[in-house]
Amino acid sequence: SGHKECELIRYAAVAKAASVSWQKAESCIRDTTSLMSHCLHKGESVALVLKDVGVLLVEGTRVRMRFYYDFLERLSGKKNLEEAVFKIPRLMDVIVSRVTSVASLTFSGRVIIFP
């Protein structure tokens, strides 16, 4: 009820996964969060592209996550995902193709894309 726990970013683990030094990982993460914070403060629409996962879209007070089909398929299995989409057609609203233009996912067509 209002209590939020924060977990520190494990820069060494991120660095290892990205094959960079922990200093580089820390710098990239801090720079990205700083720039994203600045854009949101100015009221800009932003899209955070999460490699192999999908796109987080922030427009005003609206936040949406769109997932790549293959990511969801890896999580649930092809058969389970196909059954879920068949039973719940609006599930397709949260799925996005890797070749879709990120700007086309926004209302305004304008977006700052974070790779």
pLDDT tens track for 9-46: 899 999 999 999 999 999 999 998 898 888 889 888 88
pLDDT at 1: 57
DSSP string, 32-97: HHHHHHHHHHTT--EEEEETTTEEEEEETTEEEEEEEHHHHHHHH-HHHHHHHHHH-GGGGGGEE-
Residue 78 shares a structural domain with residue 52: yes
**Cα gap 107→38, rounded to integer Å:** 21
pLDDT at 91: 85
Q: Would residue 55 count as lying in a domain?
A: yes
Q: Would residue 36 count as lying in a domain?
A: yes
* Residue 61 belongs to domain spanning: 43-114
pLDDT band at 111 (very low <50, low <70, confident <90, very high): confident
Percentage, residues of the chain above pLDDT 90: 30
pLDDT at 89: 85
For all residues of the chain together, what is the average pLDDT? 87
Residue 27 shares a structural domain with residue 53: no
In this structure, are strands 46-50 and 112-114 parallel, antiparallel, or unpaired?
A: parallel
Higher pLDDT residue, 55 or 3? 55
**Cα gap 63→15, rounded to integer Å:** 28
**Cα gap 48→35, rounded to integer Å:** 11
Number of domains in the chain: 2
pLDDT at 25: 92
